[in-house]
Amino acid sequence: MARALLGVTGSVAAIRTSDLVTALSQAGHEVQVVATEPSLYFFDPTTLNVPVHRDADEWPASRYHRGDPVLHIVLRDWADLLILAPLDAQTLARLALGLSDNLLACVIRAWDYQKPLILAPAMNTRMWESPVTLRHLRTIFEDRAGHPWQADWSLETAAQRFAEYLPRIVLIPPQAKQLACGDFGIGAMAEVATIAEAVRAWNQLSPE
């Protein structure tokens, strides 16, 4: 089974963190969590039976000494795949722009793209449909594939583009439903079972 590193960001969908950890663990995967500080508003890390890392864990309380472990590299090396679920608009922007201003962003910036990266965005409908969202997805695609933007690039075709040209980056689009804010539209994180199935599919393709 896979060593799955779950990156949890500050979307309301972070309330599903416990469900997702349970689903991955029950499937036999070894799970660790990297949580952004805003995500901790939506779930209690002490209720998870897996390690949870946050920004304060990046460096020890005492001053750094040469040879001390660098947590975002340790986690990068440990993981077989990285799951960003929920992936909020802020972290999508960090991924596209290469910002590395928290522990999870450092893991993403240092990620080995020979290993899978699973993206499960979650945000308000107007945030998802913003031209900025499509621009960030295109930037991630072009930076990794070196492929020119397609005339038919859209939010509806983005997952297919990644699957065709960058299969190690799995985009699981959000779904349409009534959102936590009361709006109805596309933006809710995909179902936990859908995300767990993406991990299972990759694990089947991985060599023993």
* Largest Cα–Cα separation, the chain: 53
Question: Residue 35: what pLDDT?
Answer: 98
Predicted pLDDT of residue 148: 66
pLDDT at 182: 76
Catalytic residue selected from 29, 53, 147, 181: 181
Instruction: Give the per-residue pLDDT at 122.
Output: 96
199, 115 Cβ separation under 8 angstroms: no
Picking from 89, 107, 92, the residue whose alpha carbon sits closest to that of residue 4 is 107
pLDDT band at 103 (very low <50, low <70, confident <90, very high): very high
- Asked if residues 10 and 38 have their Cβ atoms less than 8 Å apart, the reply is yes
- Cis, peptide link before residue 86, omega less than 30° from 0: yes
Q: Higher model confidence: residue 150 or residue 22?
A: 22
Alpha-carbon torsion (29, 35, 41, 47), positive or negative: positive
pLDDT for the residue numbered 77: 98
What pLDDT does 150 receive?
64
Q: Does residue 208 register a pLDDT over 50?
A: no
The first and second tokens of residue 61, run together, are 């309380």
Q: What's the DSSP call for residue 150?
A: P
Is pLDDT of 206 > 70?
no
pLDDT, one tens digit per residue, over 21-72 is 999 999 999 999 999 999 999 999 999 999 999 999 988 777 777 878 899 9
What is the chain's mean pLDDT, rounded?
A: 91
Q: What is the pLDDT of residue 149?
A: 65
Tell how strand 175-178 and strand 184-188 pair up: antiparallel
Using an 8 Å Cβ cutoff, are 28 and 204 in contact? no
Active site residue 106: no
- Portion of the chain with pLDDT greater than 70, in percent: 94
d(CA 15, CA 58): 24
Q: What is the mean pLDDT of residues 154-179?
A: 90
* pLDDT reading at 131 higher than 90: yes
Work out the average pLDDT over 91-114. 96
Which of 29, 72, 106, 136 is the catalytic position?
A: 72
Is 181 catalytic? The answer is yes
Spatial contact of 27 and 202, defined as CB atoms under 8 Å apart: no
- Tell me whether residue 28 is exposed, middle or buried, using C-beta atoms within 10 angstroms of its C-beta: 0 to 12, 13 to 18, 19 or more: exposed
Rg of the chain over CA atoms, in angstroms? 17
